[in-house]
């Protein structure tokens, strides 16, 4: 838990550790779900068969991307009218929701770039 908090405070990604049983894809996926629920950004992988389930679990859904876009649009509109909060679908939106929406869109953009082969090379 402290590592997750430290990563969020530092603005860096944090990855869950490996799942060693490469034949247990159901167990692997369950551990990915648990890691995402705990707040991890992804998982370290040791086998090519783990890539697809990991990407499916950790990549934002289209609904999350659309909600994030809605949140950011409402936020920009609120700021433009001099308000420090916005409302989306009856929910109050403030800075923490905006940061999370920005993060969801950044991950979505990175996934799209990787799928298109336009992602920058990883740092060395």
Boundaries of domain holding 50: 1-58
| Tokens encoding 55 | 């990407």
User: What average pLDDT does the segment 40-68 reach?
Assistant: 95
Asked if residue 45 and residue 26 are part of one domain, the reply reads: yes
Are residues 109 and 51 part of one domain? no
> 66 and 19, same structural domain?
no
With bands split at pLDDT 50, 70 and 90, how would you rate the model's confidence at 4? very high
pLDDT of residue 84: 82
Give how many domains the chain has, as a whole number.
2
Residues 54 and 10 in one domain: yes
Q: What are the pLDDT digits (tens) for 22-46?
A: 999 999 999 999 999 999 999 999 9
The model's confidence at residue 122, banded by pLDDT at 50, 70 and 90, is: low
Amino acid 35: pLDDT: 97
Considering the domain architecture, whether residues 19 and 40 belong to the same structural domain is answered as yes
Residues 67 and 81 in one domain: yes
Q: DSSP readout, 54-101?
A: HHHHHSPPHHHHHHHHHHHHHHHHHHHTT-S-EEETTEEE-HHHHHHH
Distance separating alpha carbons of residues 98 and 35, to the nearest angstrom: 22
Same domain, 49 and 70: no
| pLDDT value of position 100 | 92
Are 67 and 123 part of one and the same domain? Answer: yes
Mean pLDDT (the chain, rounded): 92
Q: pTM of this prediction?
A: 0.78
pLDDT at position 114 is 82
pLDDT for the residue 80 = 95
């Amino acid at each position: 838990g402290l590592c997750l908090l430290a990563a969020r405070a530092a603005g860096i990604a944090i990855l869950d550790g490996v799942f060693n049983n490469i034949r247990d894809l159901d167990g692997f996926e369950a551990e990915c779900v648990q890691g995402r629920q705990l707040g991890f950004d992804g998982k370290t992988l040791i086998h090519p068969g783990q890539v697809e389930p990991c990407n499916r679990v950790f990549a934002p859904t289209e609904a999350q991307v659309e909600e994030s876009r809605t949140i950011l649009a409402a936020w920009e509109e609120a700021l433009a009218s001099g308000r420090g909060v916005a409302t989306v679908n009856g929910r109050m939106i403030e800075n923490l929701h905006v940061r999370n929406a920005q993060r969801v869109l950044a991950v979505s953009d990175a996934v799209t770039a990787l799928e298109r082969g336009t992602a920058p090379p990883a740092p060395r």
